[in-house]
Structure 1
Amino acid sequence: MKAVHVLLLFCQVASSVRHHLKYFLSASSGLQTFPEFVAFSMVDDIQGGYCDSRRERPELKQDWIKKLIQDYPHLLEWYGQECVRYQHIYRANIDILKQQMNQTGGVHIFQRVHGCEWDDETGEVNAFNQFGYNGEDFIALDPKTMTWIAAKPQAVIIKHKWDKDVIYLEAKRIFNTQGCPERLNTYLEYLKGFLSRTELPSVSLLQKTPSSPVSCHASGFYPDRATLIWRKDGEELHEDVELGEILPNHDGTFQTSADLNVSSVPPEDWRRYDCVFHLSGVKDDVVTKLDKAEIRTNWEKPSDEIVLISAVVVVLLLVFITAAAAAVGFIFYKKKKVQRPPSPPDSSSELSEKLNPET
């Protein structure tokens, strides 16, 4: 009986892991402060490459994708060409949809997410290829029947046209079942080392005014299993301390902060306080003494003001990006080792699905 219990416990723990590769593409009109076209890739929710209509070349967001491009430099040029090509096609698609729906001005968003999900235990692959317009589902490909599903009445005509494109459907079937999972496995090999790394942060003491709390700001650490606390005489403080959330940086690392109210702390007692950063799996902590000479502020030195404002801007940008994504209706659809280079797919397997394929 005991052996059966242990076996059941093992079965519960040893669950499979689902990995996914997703490509997000979005075109917009009527947004003056936002690029007209944006595209980026995600592997297990970790961003790889990024491009938009305001950049001449794709941007490599993480070290793992930079390493992959070093090994296969032709991919960077190919993705750059694809980014430019998709810009024109997706802008045209917005114009077509606006005409079909009798729309003129205002903000309009055309989006696509496609890729695949792979179970590392069963080998099962689930592909997806979905389009949205103005924050709502528009049309999607059923990977089992290889037919299009119209989510809007305006998409029915497009569905009938795309269902007849047997060349594209066959190419997409091959990409869904072979190309996408093979590419995902290759990316996972490069991602493995990236995920197993540990990076300690740079820690700064920030203060807006002499009466403001002192913020201990740690940025650039990985992974996000970390703590940041204030201590007095070696004992952790809970009163007069406000802990911040762990937030992502643009480069895949993380940042966090802990504020200490020093209004009631006599100057001679400051040396009794320190800020302690602990990263899971790392033996030595990063300890920063509470020292007025080390505080960066915007009320004393102009050069320090730049540093403080930069730290605040990082947080504001994260908030803005989140808000902007929600405003334009971004829809994040949640739905064995291969030793081969991630070659670009044939152009027929990555068609842009023009809304007027006959022209």
Structure 2
Amino acid sequence: MRSSVILLLVGISLAFAGKHSLKYFYTSVSGDKTFTATGLVDDVQFMYFGINTKKASPKTEWVREIEESDYWKRQTHLLVEQHHWILNTIWTESAGEHTYQITYGCEWNDETGKTNAFRQYGYDGEDFLFLDLKRDEWISPVKQGFRTQERCNNETIRLVHWKNYLKMDCIETLKKLLTLGKSSLEKTVSPQVSLLQKNACSPVLCHVTHFYPSDITVTWMRNGQELKNVKVGKLLPNEDGTFQKTVTLQTEADEWRKNEFSCVVKHQSKTFRKTLTEKEIRTKNKTAAPFDVTVVVVLVAVILSLSLIIGVIGYFVYQRKLKPALSGSASKCWLSFCRISGYVTANTSPSDSENTSQSSTES
């Protein structure tokens, strides 16, 4: 096993320069007793296990070339055992529907040689327990996990096992997978950068998509200085195997007209800079300049003036036509108009007035 890995590593070239990762995600739900496992190398899924099929299977063509013929059988056996352990240990002590998660993996920078690793457990979406490799101990951030923390730290063999796996075996497996997937994983796709905005009052989004590999830096700059008060979105996968990311800037239109705001994207393929201007910003994939508040105010004033003039003219015309027919029944006409419109006379109680006005509005 160890020798075959070494032979495969000979093919690694500087084309892989940068940080690489191998991650595993296990998820189990107590209610329906489901269990899934996913493996990713450089954020690309290469393995999947589902309890319905009870079989670990490759998700990419290049990973099928793993030399060991029994590799997938061994993976299946380990994951079935993991599922049984969760059923017999975790869910026997829990009532109701809950979620249990295990996340572990390692990182390797082939330029600096620096490595990192992690293993952590989650319960109902919250951190429950993690392995601190610098202190060589398990730590729980919540009171409910203190007993588990103490028990795990007393199991010296288990601690040594995971320490050796994460610092040595995991790194070797990562390097092997990088070699197997070299033709696919070392491809480089330059990102597409767009500045998006729903309307003039909405935040401005720097949307970066269709890039590979996933390692990317997206920042907003104001007059050459990096802004810290921005909202950084999560890295998301696209259907074609590339990635996307969004970083949101909250600023007023007047402010970015008077200053230079730029979205700077750094990817191993290229560095991009998009300066925030009315020409660059887009709304629903169409170029759209922000509304000018002054123009809006003028338009509203003109419309109101025209409405007032039309109303006055209509009133005098109405009075001239109605005056010959008016007599002592004028007060009755006015009272009828009030009732039809939902208004009431002055001697009506406040509660009646409120109810009548509401019914008129609803109708």
Query: If the length of structure 1 is used for normalisation, what is the TM-score?
Result: 0.48
Query: If the length of structure 2 is used for normalisation, what is the TM-score?
Result: 0.47
Q: Name the structure, 1 or 2, with higher relative contact order (CA <8 Å, separation 6+).
A: 1
Over alpha carbons, which structure has the higher Rg?
2
